[in-house]
Every structure is written in structure tokens, then in C-alpha cells.
Structure 1
């Protein structure tokens, strides 16, 4: 076989298989001498198939491990978010609004967190921080989630006490995100308190 044709075939095979199949030189020697080399071809094919299977297994395993790690990060943030919410409510407010918060507000809060975190790269997910100092008195802050490396807030969760004429007091749960520089008010829902003035947060 002509040398230029042999080189062209080697380059073509390497290019088309992204280097996973390397041409066996014994094949070319057999072709030059006019002798078939079926045993060598079968052996080479088997070795390359095994290599591809091992490569696929490693890629799948790495992908699964990465996905599991990301899920763990998100789960730990959601757990901390719930803890901070109940810390904010305190023992006087939590028993009154806790059930409604769990049923109506927290699922939307989870969705907002997951949506925000899904836009982050893996490196950022490793260094997330959640504040552990909800504001007391009548302050709005429940917690903020921030990038631990830059210290910049990613999402802020608030609850505002609203007095509505002839109705009484409501708790308005909402959040702000870095994507619009914390300008927009994204509502999660309202929970009715009563016509009486609610206690201060953390009390």
C-alpha cells in the first residue's frame, strides 16, 4: 500500500474516532504483504470497545457524583432557610402561622431558591452563605443568600407586616434578587394575622 494512502487512512481514523481508536500497525503490515490479519483486528476492536465502555462509565460516575453534590448543597441551603424563617417568627408567631407558611409560602420560597441556584456554576455553589441573623422588631429581613467568595448577595427574603383598613394585619412574604439589583418585589404570598397588633419578630 502506498505510504501517502496509509498516512491518510491513519489520520482519517484518528480524526473520526476522536482518538479513541488508534490504528494497529500490524494491520498495515498485513495489507502491504497481502495477508489478512483478522485476529489482530478483532483484538484491537475488543480493546477499543472496552476502553470506550470504561470511559463512558467514568464520565457517568463523575456526572452522577457532581449532580449528587449539587443536590446536597441545595438541600443544605433549603434546610437553613427553613431554620432562619422559624427563628424570625419566634415562639409567639410560629405556632399561629407555621402551618400556613409550610403549605403555601415555603414551597414557593424553595422554588425561588432552586431557580436562583440553578443559574450558578459549580464553584459558586461550593461557597454559598446564608445569613443567620434575621431582623427583629418590625424589620423585614428573614435571610439573605450570598456568594461566599465575593460576599455579594444573590437573593434576599423578606416579610413585611401590613395593616389593611377594616381587615387587620397581614404578613407579606417576598424576595429580591441580584438580577434586577434587588429592585423588583417578587411576592410569595400573604398570611393573615388578626385585627390585633402582631408581636415583634424574634419575640
Structure 2
């Protein structure tokens, strides 16, 4: 998540610089090339220097953005030996979870469903449409692999505080890791 935030800040720097430059250039063109100030405009066939400049500078900016972008993309897809694997199956109106790595402590995997708490059952301080009856519990400071799919329709599973958001698609198994 920290890498995504740092990349966003770097990208915003370039975005602000380009936006300010384009606005300044647009203002200069509007003020300098007014019909009243320049009734007979000059004709230019081509300018090799300016064409090289407006081709190389955007290319350099794109390369400067692309290199950290690809590094971040590949680091997010890095395979790390997880301490636990959480299987998530999205169904209409509930999620199913499976901890299959606890077979050394139990004979079968831990499987449970998590339903949304009805509005009339909410306690004070709980959020409507966000509270569930069975929450998942994962260890802290350890690598966790999440495998997600759906049984019926498209779903979106997210843990915003960890910067994780995955789409659950029927017939497709998506994977990510959390720390």
C-alpha cells in the first residue's frame, strides 16, 4: 500500500507540472496571437527543433512514469510464501470463507459463511450494510494469500485499510497477498 501511495504522489507531481505548463502555454497563445495584435500572421512550414522538443519531452515523462509503475506492478504480483491461505467465495448476499492451512491442527478445513447483519439487528455504533455476523480473522504481521472467486454473479471484496480490493468473477480464480 505504501508503494501505491508513493507512486500516486510522484505521479501527481508530473500531472501538476504538465497541467501548469499547458495552461500557461494556452494563455500565452490566446494573448500573443490575438487578431488585433497580429493582423497578418506569419506562416511556418515546419520547425525541426520544436518538433523534436515536443516529441522527446513527453516520451521522457512517460518513461519516468512507466519505470516505477512497472516495478510496482511486478512487486504486487510477487509470490511470497504465505503463512495462511484464505479462500473467499462470493455469493448473492453473503461470503463463504475457507481456511485450508489449519489441517495440522484439525482434520478438516475451517469453512463458514458470513452474512450481512439486518438493519433492525444493528447495535449502536455499527454501520448499515457493512456489519456481518461472522468476521474473518487473520494473523497480523504475516503474509496471507487470498484466493477469491464467485459462485453466481460478479462481486467485489475489499479490505481498504490494507489496500486490497479484488473482483470475484464466476469461473475465475483471482489471487492477491496481504501483509
Q: TM-score, normalised by structure 2?
A: 0.30
Higher strand share: 2
Select the structure with the greater relative contact order (CA < 8 A; seq sep ≥ 6).
Answer: 2
Q: TM-score, normalised by structure 1?
A: 0.27
Larger Rg: 1
